[in-house]
Amino acid sequence: MRLHTLFFLSVLSCLCFALGQGSYDDCCLKYLRNVEKHFYKNAVGYRVQKPDGGCNIPAIIFIMKKGRKYCANPNEEWVQGLMRKVDGRRALKPRSSFRFKKLRKQPHKG
């Protein structure tokens, strides 16, 4: 009986430890240092990371055309400029991705 109780408690403690770790998959741990020219035209979006919970540093996470993500320091001037550029591109795009098809003229049945 004691062995079952001990086993149950050890499994329960491992489970609590695993759940308490949190997820660090989406957190930036360091900033991008060198930015190439293509970086500016391939950025399609961004999100803001705040230093709370498991994320230790504030960051802007830029999302590229192919889905890659890069972390940048929100205090740097080029980061603010690229954020404005991405926002400007979003404002120019139509809000709906629905495309109208040309309707064929059908003979009127009368």
pLDDT digits 0-9 by tens, 88-110: 988 877 655 555 555 555 666 65
What local confidence, expressed as pLDDT, does residue 31 receive? Answer: 94
Instruction: Give per-residue burial for 78-89: e unless 16+ CB within 10 Å, then b.
Output: ebeebbeebeee
pLDDT surpassing 50 at residue 14: no
pLDDT digits 0-9 by tens, 21-58: 555 457 999 999 888 888 889 999 999 999 987 889 99
User: What's 38-93's CATH class?
Assistant: mainly beta
Which residue has 């004691």 as its token pair? 2
pLDDT digits 0-9 by tens, 69-79: 999 999 999 99
DSSP letters, 25-86, are TT---S------HHHHHHEEEEEEE-S-TT--S-EEEEEETTS-EEEE-TTSHHHHHHHHHH
Separation of alpha carbons 4 and 30, rounded Å: 45
Give the residue extent of every domain in the chain: 38-93
pLDDT top residue among 74 and 17: 74
DSSP 98: -
CA angle 26, 30, 32 (to 5 degrees): 100
> Other C-beta atoms within 10 Å of 41: how many?
11
Mean pLDDT in residue range 3-19: 54
CB 44 within 8 A of CB 64: yes
